Amino acid sequence: MSHEKIITEWKKKVYKPFYWLEGEEEYFIDKVMDYAEHNILSEAETGFNLTVFYGKDAAWPDVINACRRYPMFSERQVVLLKEAQQMKDIEKLESYVENPLGSTILVVSYKDKKIDGRTKFAKLLKERGVLLSTRKIYENQLPQWTEEIVNNHGYEISRKAIMLLVDHIGNDLSRIENEIEKILVNLGKRKTINEDDIEQFIGISKEFNVFEFQNALAAKDLSGCIRIVQYFEDNPKAAPIQLIFPSLYSFFSKLYMIHGLNSRDEKTVAASLGVNPFFVKDYLKAVNAYSFPEVEKAILLLHHYNLRSVGIADIGTEDASLLKEMVYKIIAA
């Protein structure tokens, strides 16, 4: 079951006695836990009927005893076990899962791990309760996910604004959402987030960023690339080299894949690359600028300069110098 479905059921007052939230994407787990803590019970009910444990400090008998208590002045009570991956003997909760109390809603967050599916305890979780198993969102899914978050608030966001946000923050869903909410508070009556908003409220330059650097490189605009690298050198926090290389590698890897396709149809390319169709035109334009051998050389150069950036076969060349040298070699290929 997805985190959206769990929360949707809770909004309809549909509850199960036990929820197990596991996996590597903390954002979805935190969303469910936050709703359980602040929305299932009314403010008046919370004082008597909300119990929160933390795995590092919790003992399994205490958790079970809390779950077996009856609610006071309420139809139900909520017991939360946070950071359960740090709890000793957590499988001892098995006896409660086998026979839970109908008036208790137990929600367990088990972050960065998954329970061993071969155990009796894991099978009980699936049979008697609700299991949410989360995974990290892939890089190519971030733009669409970001757009959906904005749309869910009743707003729109421009394509460039999405890319500025995603390229700058990366796969940190909570931070992306927090930055979006910060912008919306300052947006006034407008209903569309644009690149100016990203620059003003988050501090990401709309002209000098990884996205524009990639575009300049895609167009073989050497002077544009050098100008952006110079900005990066003067503003080290704007785009660390560790952020630039993965972005460029992803870009040229997609060009490599396009060269291997038999079709240049936008829908076909989008499906093959696993990207949103509105990004495909940029890739198709770039693939006309870079032949297959040039793409191969660019990928090899990225690997070479990435190694140098971490000190392999390099005596400490500045990041900006490495980028300028690499860009020249890629464009001059």
Q: Is the pLDDT of residue 114 over 90?
A: no
Angstrom CA distances, 195 to 50, 115, 159, 206, 236, stand at 43, 42, 9, 6, 21
The pLDDT-based confidence of 274 (bands split at 50, 70, 90) is: confident
Q: What are the tens digits of pLDDT across the range 128-145? A: 889 999 999 887 788 889
Which CATH fold would you assign to the domain 210-331?
Zinc Finger, Delta Prime; domain 3 (1.20.272)
Per cent of the chain over pLDDT 90 is 76
Identify the top-confidence range among 108-122, 266-280, 317-331.
317-331
Q: What is the average pLDDT score of the chain?
A: 93
Structure confidence at residue 221 (pLDDT): 96
Q: Is the pLDDT of residue 35 over 80?
A: yes
Least confident piece of the model among 40-49, 142-151, 226-235, 273-282 = 273-282
Structure confidence at residue 67 (pLDDT): 97
Contacts of 327 (CB under 8 A, 6+ apart): 217, 222, 225, 226, 229
Q: Is the pLDDT of residue 278 over 80?
A: no
Q: For residues 130 and 6, is the Cβ–Cβ distance under 8 A? A: yes
3-state secondary structure 110-147: EECCCCCCCCHHHHHHHHHCEEEEECCCCHHHHHHHHH
Identify the top-confidence range among 112-116, 167-171, 202-206.
202-206
Q: How far is CA 143 from the centre of its chain?
A: 10
DSSP string of 281-293?
HHHHHHHHHS-HH
Any idea where the domains of the chain sit in the sequence?
Answer: 3-134, 139-202, 210-331
Span 160-174, mean pLDDT? Answer: 90
Position with higher pLDDT, 78 vs 238: 78
Per cent of the chain over pLDDT 70 is 100
Structure confidence at residue 229 (pLDDT): 96
Q: Is the pLDDT of residue 155 over 80?
A: yes
Q: Is the pLDDT of residue 282 over 80?
A: yes
In the numeric block, which tokens belong to residue 54? 């933390």
Span 249-278, mean pLDDT? Answer: 89
Q: For residues 84 and 90, is the Cβ–Cβ distance under 8 A? A: yes
**Beta-strand (E) ranges in the chain?**
18-23, 50-54, 77-82, 104-111, 130-134, 156-157, 192-193
Structure confidence at residue 127 (pLDDT): 84
Q: Is the pLDDT of residue 176 over 80?
A: yes
Structure confidence at residue 333 (pLDDT): 62
Which CATH fold would you assign to the domain 139-202?
Helicase, Ruva Protein; domain 3 (1.10.8)
The pLDDT-based confidence of 121 (bands split at 50, 70, 90) is: confident
Identify the top-confidence range among 32-41, 229-238, 239-248, 262-271.
32-41
Contacts of 142 (CB under 8 A, 6+ apart): 166, 171, 176
The pLDDT-based confidence of 52 (bands split at 50, 70, 90) is: very high
Span 31-37, mean pLDDT? Answer: 97
CATH number of 3-134: 3.40.50.300
Span 24-29, mean pLDDT? Answer: 94
**Beta-strand (E) ranges in 200-256?**
none
